Structure formats: structure tokens, C-alpha cells
Structure 1
Amino acid sequence: MKTEYLDKYPKTLLNKGTGFLSGYSHSLNPYTGCSFGCSYCYVRQMPVSTFRDAKWGTWVDVKKGAAEIFQKELRRAKTKGSVTIFMSSSTDPYQPIEHKEQITRSLLEIMAADSPDFLFVQTRSPLVRRDIDLLLRLGDRVRVSMTVETDREDIRKHFSLDAPPINARLKTLQLLAEAGVPTQATIAPMLPSSERFAETLRSIVSRVCLDDYYMGDGSGGRRTRSLGIHTLYKQLGLEEWYDPTAYHKVHEQLKQFFSEDQIYISQQGFEP
């Protein structure tokens, strides 16, 4: 899928943490739009997407001059109290264009020199391994949360064809953990998986977050339903996985390999 990239010059970078992210003082999005274009992405139903003529996944706004703006905003925010940042809430900070533009890295460089109280990095991209040097400088004030919705590559291709392969994400989690970067595997949104999923994750991480469409899309599942995702489950003969109680199955599997204090459900897994 071809993506159109547009240069934008924002006046602000930090947004107040609200709703699902109310535990954070701010959210931070290095880009607007996301070329991964996952079929289930709740951002498809948000104004940032619905007010655009182009289809979600086919456009990305690159925030030029982001580091200079962010540095000033971060300094200002720190004078007012604790600063906890979620990066990112409506885009992937490590989507392919980041290879070239390095907007996310420029923001991390600011934070490595002038650390917020906590930074949560949410991504599904192996590119995050490039910034291990900066992440280590943040010490225990950072956590990298890698989305691993399933361990089945065939399922991944049905739901998020343009997203990175599962094995590449798992390998990246392993590299981050071995380097000493705090990590978590995030099964969000939970997709159909194999019986070996929990065991696979346990060999790599000591913390997991489990979330689904009903708990995690900010509308009790309504945004996801309007995307027609149920039709895809039906076509695949996997309707039992599209149910508010389906996550219990994976939760029970996780409990065989992780202790209760290593398993986080929905919002609690994204908290500072």
C-alpha cells in the first residue's frame, strides 16, 4: 500500500493525557497517521482520521522541527509538576518513515538529556532496537511496550498485512531485555493465537499486558464493531475469538507461565 508523506510544522507536541491515558500527564505523537494501517486500529474512528479524505494507512504527516518545540514544552511542563509521557497514542513512533526522518530519535535525545519522570514507548516495530543507547540512558524511567497481538503469522497477515512480522518483534523484545531496557509484551488487541503463545512470551519477557477490543478501544468495542472486524473473524471461522470473554482463555494460558503480578489487564498494563 503506497503511503503519502506530508511535511507539517506543528506549534505543539505534548498533549494532555486524558481518557484511557489519564494516568499520564501527557501523550506524545512524533507523526500523525500510520503507514502500518492495521485493520482494527481504533484511530480509524477518531477525528484525526475521519476528517481526512484519504484512507487510514495511506498518509502520514511528518512533524518537522519537533525536537526544538518539544524541548521547550518539556522544560515548561517540568516546572508545573510530574511529567509522564505516553509515546504514542495515535501513531507508531517507529513506523518505516522513522528510518529516514528520525523524529522519534530526536525526541528521545531530548529526554535522555532532560528526563521526564516516566516514558512509555508503545510500538510494534523492530526499529526501536536502533535507539537502545538512548533508552538505556533513561534507566528505570522508561518502558518499551511491544505489541504482539498473536504468535500466528497467518493471523497477523489477515489483520495487519503491512505491520512487521511477529518473529522480528519477538527478537527485538529479546534484544531490548538483554540490553537492560525495561520491556513488556502487549497482546493488544488480542488476536487468535496458538496454545504455545504464553510459553513463547515467557522465554523473552517477565511482564505482559493483555487487552482486547472491548476493554481497549475506548468505547466498549463500538469503534471496532463499526470497522466491520467481526466479518473478518467470521470469514476465518474464528468467531469465538470475537467475544468479550475470549480474553479469559489467553489469560489462563498466561497464568501457567507468569505470576499474577507479571500479568496486567487492559489499562493497568499501560499505566506509568
Structure 2
Amino acid sequence: MRNKVVLRRLIRNRNTRYGLVGVAVLLLLAYVGPLVAPYGWQEKDFTAFMEPPGPDHWWGTTQTGGDVFAGTLRGLQKSLVIGFLAALISTGLAALVGATAGYFGGWVDRVLMWGVDLLLVLPSFLIIAILSPRLQGGTWLLFVVLLALFGWMITSRVVRSMTLSLREREYVLAAKYMGVPGWKIILRHVLPNLSSLLIIDATLNVSGAIITETSLSFFGFGVQAPDVSLGTLIADGSGTSTVITYPWLFLFPAGVLVALVLSVNLIGDGLRDALDPGSNP
């Protein structure tokens, strides 16, 4: 019954519909676009340097003859994968650490929350900026792990406080008295009752991870050459003279980034309204 109410709220929510359409269009653009694009993201057209958008290069070319359309789609693919993976890892860590600390309490709670407090005071942006260039030549998945490691601490505290209440519920106490191990109680009874919070958190973490990755790449600390991301493309086209003289270098990657983050945030807002018990059915 509750799932039907949530689904009805999502369908009726205008923001959710816009967000879902936006994400669907961007996913199609990212993964179907390269199949129909006249050039690949690594191909160079040495007869067209800094060409404006036209029939051969739909979004223009760069100073090295690279196709802006193909490069932007490659950057969009990278941002989507990094955003979704980092959000999944981050929310998973928050759920496990927060629920474990809240359920077991005692020294387990103190140790885990001490680690959370330590990570909260560390300058995460600076640490990622220092470490990420050292990963050059390695897998970009290590960069995803770095992003995820600094994006879960506040949510884990919220999960912990809610678990403190849930562990006193009758069904949890009954499972405990029946000898069910603590980790099974957490997975079967605690986390399912926190699913609304975790779904919303994961959705919002996607846009947060995308913005963080783009910011780091903009300053040269994120995705490293020869690969590209939306941040590196925006950085290449963000010079004052470049934006005025060759606006397509900046406008297309920046526009795709804005559309992506806005669509994900609209979905997050719609999920929050749909899962709120106080909302109209």
C-alpha cells in the first residue's frame, strides 16, 4: 500500500517528472550520442581548429582540432559513472557505520563516532586535491573511492540517531531475544526502516559527487589527461578571451553540467516529498 502511495506521489510531482526526463535524455546523449557522432572524442581534425558549430562538428572544435560534441559526451559519461558510484559507496558506508554504531552502542559506538569526527575535521577537498594527481596512470576508480570516503559522515550520524530509536522497537527486541545475530538484525530490520532516508541521501550524493569531481578536475586535481571530464573541458574554455571569442568551448560542457545536476536535484526533491509521511497522498 505504501509503495503505491509513494509511486502516486512521484508521478504527480512535476519536479520528479522533469528530473527523470532530464536524466533519461542525458543518459541517451551520453551513451547513444557517440554512436552517431561523426568524430570520436580522441580523434583530431587537423583541418578545423577552433571551428564554430557546423554540419561537420555539431558543437564546434577545440584548439587542437578535437570535436567538442564527442569530448563533452565523454566527460558526461565520466561524470555520470563517478557520481553514481561515489554516491552508492558513500551512502552504503553511512548506512553500515551509522547503524552499527547505533545498534551495538558502547565501545563500538565510541570508536566509530571518533573516526567520523576525525574525518569531519579533515580538509577533504585539500586531501583529495593532493592525492588524486598521484593516481595518474592508475585506475580512475581510486578517485571514486577518494570522493566517497569524504561524503558519508554527516549521514552516518543521522542514521546512528535513528537506529538508537529503532533498536528499542518490539520487533527488534523480539529478534534479539530469539538469538538473531546483530548484523542480521541490522540488515533485516534496521536498514529497511531507514530506506527512505538512504534513498534520498544517495540521490543528493550523486549531484554532490558530480560537482566535487568537476571542481577538482577544473583545477587539474581530478580526472587526469589523456582522459577528459566536464571539469577539464570547462577549464579549457573558461578563459576570459576564450569565452568571448569561442563561447562553444565553455557553453556546451557547462550547459550539460547544469542540466545534469539540476535534473538529479529535482529527482531528489521529488523523492523527499514522496517519501514524507506528512505529504498529501
**Could you say which structure has the higher helix fraction?**
2
Tell me which structure has the larger Cα radius of gyration.
Answer: 2
TM-score range (shorter-chain normalised) is under 0.3
TM-score normalized by structure 2?
0.22
**Could you say which structure has the higher strand fraction?**
1
Structure of higher RCO (CA pairs closer than 8 Å, 6+ residues apart):
2
TM-score normalized by structure 1?
0.23
